[in-house]
Structure 1
């Protein structure tokens, strides 16, 4: 399923960002300002909405679901951050054969795209690995790299910590008696 769909890494990050932005597809913004040698702002760039692609309520529900991906039961638990709630999606794709019909055995493209803090997103990061060597599932291969990049980026940008969803190992079991 999904084998017939082709998208660039930038398109995938834009799609994930639309969920983080309440359903608004944003023009990619890689640089928010230019500074001169003295640190004065020479040019400031503002985020631009391209168009609304999903309803607010749908985006909110998708974010709730994407948060579970980065939980103890999720496929990207290796992307979990101690100080931020992360929402994300893993990807694992077989690579098409260049010499015959079908797909190459044991050749994959693995990915993880996530944003944080999930409640008030400031940062969306995509990690893409072509033909990984140690495993091939997106959460296992790209999740740990996302974690390192996200921690360092959040620290560098001074993002305020959010209340993360604790890993299942730290949650106390809930017993309901009837």
Structure 2
């Protein structure tokens, strides 16, 4: 998993986002002096090598009318957590779903699922759908509602190429 100077130029040029253009990689290529095919090939290689995990949109849920956003947390039997987590993550209203270790005795939850909706009633309805899927495998749950949007950015490269917060 090594990158060269050309890879670094691509990462630096795209770390704030891709240009909104019909051929964004051609525009990136113009910015850094490469043709579109080379930019695409290098990005594909970096994805295959795990340097880039994914390319995706960071949406503003409030602007999309999703005014209630809650991280639902669940204490699920460990033996069933992975299978149930896959089912929950496949729901169209869950945008993030992952397993994390518990922090006992204060934090018994091991399954996390982000739910968005136009209001809290809709989010609570969706939370009830998750509870029905988890059934008796879930011992306890809660939900933590967002009160504001935090800055959404990916990794940033420092001038020397070291990761820095962004």
> Would you call these one fold, judging by a TM-score over 0.5?
no
Q: Greater strand percent: which structure? A: 1
By relative contact order (CA 8 Å, sep 6+), the higher-ranking structure is 2
Q: Greater helix percent: which structure? A: 2
TM-score (norm 1): 0.23
TM-score (norm 2): 0.24
**Which protein has the larger Cα radius of gyration, Structure 1 or Structure 2?**
2
